Each structure stands twice: as structure tokens, then as C-alpha cells.
Amino acid sequence: YFRYWAARGVDVTPFFAVLNGPRIAAPGGAGFAAGNDALRPYFDEMFSGRGDVATTLRRAQAAANAAARR
């Protein structure tokens, strides 16, 4: 992997240097699964290029928060 990218002039060191840094805990807790499921269709739409990103993110957040509170 390293030789492959080095032969193409790409320094991949930064992608691995971050592994030595601090860790962020994985999300979880009560309501997480429901919230995650609720935002998935919004993300699917956003990443397919349909709709305004800022608007879609606001809607995804509202849907996820509502689902997580149930």
C-alpha cells in the first residue's frame, strides 16, 4: 500500500498518523438506533445530489432527534 502510493507521489502518512491521536467514543445510548434510522433517508437524498445540503441536514437532525426522543 505504502509503496503503491509512494510510487505515485502520494504521501499517505497523515492518514495513518491520526491513529496515534485521541479517540472519540462511538455514538450510542438510548434512542441512537432510532435516530440513526430516521436520518438515513435524508442522507441518501443529500449524498445523491438531490436537495439543498443545509436544508436537508436541518431536516435530518429534526427527524433524528424526534425519533430518538420516542
Q: How many domains does the chain have?
A: 1
The mean per-residue pLDDT over the stretch 3-29 comes to 91
Distance CA 13, CA 18 (A): 9
- Residues near 46 by beta carbon (within 8 Å), at least 6 away in sequence: 53, 56, 57, 60
Q: What is the pTM of this model?
A: 0.61
Distance of alpha carbon 65 from alpha carbon 31, whole angstroms: 9
pLDDT for position 21 = 87
What Rg do the C-alpha atoms of the chain give, in angstroms? 18
Percent of the chain with pLDDT over 70: 100
pLDDT digits (tens, 9 = 90+) for 17-47: 988 888 888 888 899 999 999 999 999 999 9
